[in-house]
Structure 1
């Protein structure tokens, strides 16, 4: 047998073809594989729409929230003073009845006390609504946004009515109050209408 015979057991082993790179092995030193299961872009590219959803409350929203708390404080003070006023009017009416007996003035006093008490309860209820809206800014949805927007628009309209009355009477104090209500209500409504406000209340909650 000659060493050139491929079947010669004493000859050198046959030359094997070079092995092809196996799956999962890099094609060149220092070059990562580009096969299945490997990202073709930088790792952790971010979640879709991550930049479109605000993660912190926008500044205009924060301002509207603070204004809601300020309005609630004013409404509480007005409600408390109105309750004391209703109690005072009622006591005066009772004293008039004790002195002069039942008369038309005492009836008017009792009716006035009832009206003032209703106004006091109305302001206290509005204060509760203002506080609730401000608290719900963190976790609330579109219902809180729409309610706050309507609340701000109505507040601005009330301010316009007060301003008209102040202009007719010539009261500077009433004019200042009217401008404050118009400004507060306008800012609240603008914060809810702005795209940042809509995005804040549309953000995902986990």
Structure 2
């Protein structure tokens, strides 16, 4: 069978390949059928861009960046530290209340237990705030990012005063949380499109 002029016959063999001498014989393809694997490029229509996103827009982020995940883990570390703090403040308040009856602990018994209960409530509120932030990291938007920045900055400030000695860990964690949520990867994660 003769294909005629290869420039005018779209069903002929691809240019540059010879029939015979070790090359497989190609059968002409009927019009209207999809192309098979191994056919030379150039036949058919070009592939269209994906429909889910606007043309030229970057693909949405599928996985949380490492620094954002690290900020989330640090929030959970703060939750653990706050649990320890709540228990210590509550235990100290109860111990001081019981020591008021004993003369040997008269100096300690003069310490106001209301302050310790206040610190315990404050630590519990901080714990709840950290839990709420950490659980919303995968679904939250820019508002959560700003709230996380505020949380990190306030954690660092409160670590300096009034909890200076015990707050060194909170100081480091607060600064790192603010930096990781505020950097470009954090901004891209919290501002990502959600389809």
Q: Is 1:192 equivalent to 2:181 in the alignment? A: yes
8 A Cα contact 1:149 1:192, kept in partner: yes
Q: Judge conservation of contact 1:53–1:199 (CA < 8 Å) in 2.
A: no
Residue 133 of structure 1 corresponds to which residue in structure 2?
133
Residues matched between the structures, number: 156
CA deviation after TM superposition for structure 1 residue 51, in Å: 3.3
- TM-score, normalization by structure 2: 0.66
Distance 1:187 1:91 in 2: 40
Contact 2:96 2:111 in 1 (8 A): no
Shift in CA distance, 142/45, structure 1 to aligned 2, threshold 3 Å: closer
Any stretches of 5+ residues in structure 1 without a counterpart?
A: 1-26, 34-38, 100-104, 166-173
CA contact (8 A) 1:53 1:200 kept: no
Secondary structure of the 1:140 match is: coil
Q: How does 1:64-75 map onto structure 2 within 5 Å?
A: 64-75=71-82
Q: Secondary structure at the match of 1:53?
A: coil
* Alignment RMSD: 3.4
- Of the three residues 7, 24, 28, the one matched with 2:10 is 28
Distance 1:111 1:159 in 2: 22
TM-score, with length taken from structure 1:
0.63
1:60 aligns with 2:49: no
Offset of residue 181 of structure 1: 2.6
Structure 2 vs 1, CA of residues 179 and 83 (structure 1 numbering), >3 Å: closer, same or farther? closer
Structure 2, unaligned stretches of length 5 or more? 1-8, 15-30, 33-43
Would the alpha carbon gap of residues 205 and 52 (structure 1) be closer, same or farther in structure 2, given more than 3 Å must change? closer
The match for 1:180 among 165, 169, 180 is 169
Determine the C-alpha separation between the residues in 2 that align with 1:118 and 1:71: 19
Q: CA deviation at 1:75?
A: 0.7
Determine which of 199, 203, 206 is the counterpart of 2:192.
203
Which of these two proteins has the greater Rg computed from alpha carbons?
1
Mapped partners of 1:189, 1:145: distance in 2: 9
**CA displacement at 1:145 relative to structure 2:** 0.7
CA distance in 1, matches of 2:113, 2:190: 42
